[in-house]
């Protein structure tokens, strides 16, 4: 997760023409990158034991974290030559995060409840 996250962060601060020959549709790229990042953040929230609210509410925590992170990346791009802040990019980030949560929920909502219950009984 850390390597992926660093790659996303670095890609967001490099000049746009750095990846010209590898580009797909810009919004699709945002959507897919943030969908995968949401999966990583979700599992990090579930598996960590230090911050209770992240563990007990990993779906909401992961979504809010990714939405904030996407917004922060867009704002940082205001200061990167050749980049600009685009609300549509952020909306694609949020859509990717929401899709990640929707995909995870049916499979992991019960597992999260079991983890929380086991933590309470310890």
- pLDDT of 22 reads 57
The answer to the question of residue 117 being in a domain is: no
Rounded to an integer, the average pLDDT of 58-78 is: 94
The answer to the question of residue 4 being in a domain is: no
Cα–Cα distance, 44 to 55 (Å, whole number): 9
- pLDDT of 11 reads 81
The answer to the question of residue 68 being in a domain is: yes
Q: Give the distance, in angstroms, between the CA of residue 116 and the centroid of all CA atoms in the same chain.
A: 23
pTM of the full structure: 0.82
- pLDDT of 112 reads 78
The answer to the question of residue 16 being in a domain is: no
- pLDDT of 66 reads 95
The answer to the question of residue 83 being in a domain is: yes
Domain count, the chain: 1
Range of the domain at 79: 27-104
- pLDDT of 82 reads 79
As a whole-number percent, the residues of the chain with pLDDT over 90 amount to 50
Cα–Cα distance, 64 to 2 (Å, whole number): 18
pLDDT over 70 (residue 81): yes
The answer to the question of residue 70 being in a domain is: yes
The pLDDT tens digits for 9-56 are 888 777 766 555 556 688 999 999 999 999 999 999 988 989 989 988
């Amino acid at each position: 997760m850390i390597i992926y996250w660093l790659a996303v962060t670095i890609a967001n601060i490099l000049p746009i023409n750095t990846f010209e020959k590898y580009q797909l549709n810009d919004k699709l790229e945002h959507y897919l990158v943030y969908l995968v990042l949401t999966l990583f953040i979700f599992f990090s929230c579930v598996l960590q034991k230090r911050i209770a609210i992240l563990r007990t509410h990993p779906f909401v925590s992961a979504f809010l974290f990714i939405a904030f992170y996407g917004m922060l990346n867009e704002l940082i791009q205001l200061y990167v030559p050749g980049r600009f802040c685009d609300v549509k990019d952020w909306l694609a980030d949020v859509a990717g995060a929401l899709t990640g949560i929707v995909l995870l929920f049916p499979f992991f909502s019960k597992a999260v409840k079991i983890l929380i219950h086991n933590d309470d009984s310890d």
